[in-house]
């Protein structure tokens, strides 16, 4: 497992989260390990949600000018 979740790419975070879910669903881990995995999974989910929200905001902002014409502006919000 990588330690610094905040620097993980979305795909890597999702893959690790999927692995954690699989391990937890098997139910073979000791309680202490399961709790630690659950906590990491929660942090990974929050990180992925943050990336998705930021990406959604980056896609496009549609607005209209004073004449009613629509224009598309790309928003530049860092991830």
What Cα–Cα distance (Å) separates residue 70 from each residue in 14, 23, 75, 77?
Answer: 36, 49, 16, 21
Residue 30 CA, distance from chain mean position: 27
**Domain-embedded: residue 37:** yes
**Domain-embedded: residue 68:** yes
Q: Read off the pLDDT band of 70 (50, 70, 90).
A: confident
Domain with 13, as residue range(s), is 5-73
**Domain-embedded: residue 79:** no
**What are 19-44's pLDDT values in tens digits?**
999 999 999 999 999 999 999 999 99
Give yes or no for residue 76 having a pLDDT over 70: no
Looking at the structure of the chain, the number of domains it has is: 1
What Cα–Cα distance (Å) separates residue 3 from each residue in 11, 20, 25, 53, 58?
Answer: 16, 14, 22, 22, 27
Structure tokens belonging to residue 56: 């959604």
């Amino acid at each position: 497992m990588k330690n610094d979740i905040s620097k993980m790419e979305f795909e890597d975070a999702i893959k690790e989260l999927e692995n954690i879910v699989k391990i937890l669903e098997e139910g073979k881990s000791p309680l202490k390990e399961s709790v630690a995995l659950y906590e990491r999974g929660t942090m990974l989910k929050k990180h992925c949600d943050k990336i998705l929200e930021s990406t959604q905001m980056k896609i496009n902002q549609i607005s209209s000018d004073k004449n009613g014409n629509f224009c598309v502006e790309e928003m530049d919000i860092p991830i």
